[in-house]
Structure 1
């Protein structure tokens, strides 16, 4: 069951990436909509990682060297 869920997620990711590439070449409206959703989802996934990295930088070496 887990394998099927992971395969479904993988198919969505690959399809979303294909739509981003196709939209970059001037695809139809629905492709641009899927590409927009894909890029927004990517930003949502990256945002917590960026804030986590910044908080780790602030608590890192404070000796300056």
Structure 2
């Protein structure tokens, strides 16, 4: 009886560890998705900032 309790406790511990690892894997996959999306949109954002800066400088030069 005591050995069965120990075995059940060990199985419960392993199941909890398994759930923790699965949750952590899901967290890493979500982080990867986020980083991929940011990497995709970063050049567009950078380009639009550069174009806006150039347009601002040109408008300033035209007014002078």
- Normalising by structure 1, report the TM-score: 0.49
Rg larger in 1 or in 2?
A: 2
Question: Greater helix share, 1 or 2?
Answer: 2
Q: Which has the higher contact order (CA 8 A, sep 6+)?
A: 1
